Amino acid sequence: MRSPRRLLWPFCRGMKMNKLVDFTRPFGLYIHVPFCVHKCNYCDFYSEAFNQGRIKYFLQALQRELELYAELLSAKEISTIYIGGGTPSLLKPSQLEGLLELIFNSFSFTGSREITLECNPSSLKKEKIAAFKKAGINRLSLGVQSFNERELKFLGRLHTPTQAIKVLEEVKKYFTNYNLDLIFALPGQSLEEWEESLKKAVSFKPPHLSLYNLQIEEGTVLDALLKEGKIKEVDDRLDAEMYLLARKVLQEKGYRQYEISNFARPGYESKHNLIYWQYQPYLGLGPAAHSFDGKVRFSNYSDLEIYCQRLSRNQLPVAGVTPLSRREQMSEMLFMGLRLIDGVSTGDFKARFGLELKEVYQDELNRLTGLGLVQFDEEQLKLTQKGILLGNEVFMEFLP
Ligand code: SF4
């Protein structure tokens, strides 16, 4: 899940965390494991070079962070666990088992009980897949990205299509619930090449697929190539054609699109990611992780050393805290919820803020309905087919 980690929040420093932040109802738990064997060419997530000694150092600090939050928070119930990164599949199954035990000692686990592990095909072997399942993981999210060798090299991925296929064949033996990530709109990629990768992915009948168009982020290898004029971004028309093709292929194969970039067979929607889109609380642990308690956002230092040092002094590794005004919360609820194909429930909005959606956003709704970008009735506000393609224009309207 990329978007919540990509949002930037202004910081207010030096406030007392336990006065500002609390979780009063079940929340999703996200853990950021900040290690990768190699930095992918498009990636701007926080990670450092893989090293077993540093992993142990990190896990000790993470244990302290879990214990501190277990002391601080009123609600001790978590509904989902998502272990992302970085490359958390670099952890040994015994380390993962230890981590889950620590979580269960600190919090009670209720609700959907979904436990997802992000995996890189290059760090997965048959034995490890079986051991992850035994350790308690019940959902895998596989960063396959493409089944085309040239595209994988371009992205700087370490696996080949053949390795991804072998891993998928093994994953299917142990996991009924798993996701494949694919990236499209790569410089030089044709519509046919995208269709080939997509159809290959679908041939495994994965219960869930996440499809993202390539975003070239500041400071990445691809950004440097773009600035040197060595690559060119795909034009918007081809990008949209690729997206529409994917929607058609997946719909024909029985997938339901439930979010702008996410498709699932019935019952396999990502429970953890739904927490972000439905504007529910989540706690993020590990360097660079972001959290939201329902009213306040806060984020950890994006530096493993600072993160570990603070925890060794029993201090939370929080770099910034942003209390949100009511108007900011309303606006966030809309631009997160509008990513969902079912949109935002007007009843949920009223229950949360005590106001009708149309009272607060009458002008914006008139403008967007007039442009054919949203559909609004007594029960729901959602994007139209045209609005799905122009989502950013809609989201901008609701900025406070
Ligand atoms: S494996 Fe994932 S987190 Fe690590 S560099 Fe590649 S994209 Fe980024």
The Cα–Cα gap between 50 and 53 comes to: 9
Q: CATH topology for 3-277?
A: pyruvate-formate lyase- activating enzyme (3.80.30)
Q: Is the pLDDT of residue 105 over 70?
A: yes
Predicted pLDDT at 382: 98
Query: Per-residue pLDDT tens for 16-43?
Result: 666 667 788 899 999 999 999 999 999 9
pLDDT band at 8 (very low <50, low <70, confident <90, very high): very low
* C-beta of 86 in contact with ligand 1 (< 6 A): yes
The Cα–Cα gap between 46 and 317 comes to: 15
Beta bridge partner(s), residue 138: none
Helix (H) / strand (E) element for 184: namely strand 178-184
Q: Is the pLDDT of residue 2 over 50?
A: no
Q: How far does residue 301's CA lie from ligand 1's centre (Å)?
A: 19
At 118, is the secondary structure helix, strand, or coil?
strand
Predicted pLDDT at 21: 76
Mean pLDDT score of the chain:
93
* C-beta of 2 in contact with ligand 1 (< 6 A): no
Task: Provide the sign of the torsion angle of the four alpha carbons 120, 123, 124, 129, taken in this order.
Answer: negative
Residue 191, φ and ψ in degrees, nearest 5: -60, -40
Q: How far does residue 157's CA lie from ligand 1's centre (Å)?
A: 8
pLDDT band at 12 (very low <50, low <70, confident <90, very high): very low
* C-beta of 39 in contact with ligand 1 (< 6 A): yes
- Residue 211's nearest CA partner among 191, 197, 232, 226 is 197
Q: Is the pLDDT of residue 119 over 70?
A: yes
- Residue 30's nearest CA partner among 267, 207, 287 is 287
Query: Per-residue pLDDT tens for 275-302?
Result: 999 999 999 999 999 999 999 999 999 9
Residue nearest to atom 3 of ligand 1 (CA): 86
- Residue 62's nearest CA partner among 298, 292, 300 is 300
pLDDT band at 14 (very low <50, low <70, confident <90, very high): very low
The Cα–Cα gap between 302 and 292 comes to: 17
* C-beta of 43 in contact with ligand 1 (< 6 A): yes
Tell which atom from ligand 1 comes closest to the C-alpha of 143.
2
Average pLDDT over residues 344-359: 96
Please report, rounded to a whole number, the percentage of residues in the chain having pLDDT higher than 90.
Answer: 90
Domain boundaries, the chain: 3-277, 326-397
Per this entry, what is the length of the chain? 400
Predicted pLDDT at 332: 96
* C-beta of 216 in contact with ligand 1 (< 6 A): no
Contact by Cβ (8 Å): 321, 15: yes
* C-beta of 47 in contact with ligand 1 (< 6 A): yes
Contact by Cβ (8 Å): 47, 238: no
CA 63 to chain centre: 23
Contact by Cβ (8 Å): 339, 355: no
- H helices then E strands: how many in the chain? 18, 17
* C-beta of 36 in contact with ligand 1 (< 6 A): yes
Query: Per-residue pLDDT tens for 229-244?
Result: 999 999 999 999 999 9
The Cα–Cα gap between 38 and 35 comes to: 9
Predicted pLDDT at 111: 81
Contact by Cβ (8 Å): 368, 387: yes
* C-beta of 85 in contact with ligand 1 (< 6 A): yes
Task: Kindly report the CATH class assigned to 326-397.
Answer: mainly alpha
Residue nearest to atom 6 of ligand 1 (CA): 40
Residue nearest to atom 8 of ligand 1 (CA): 43
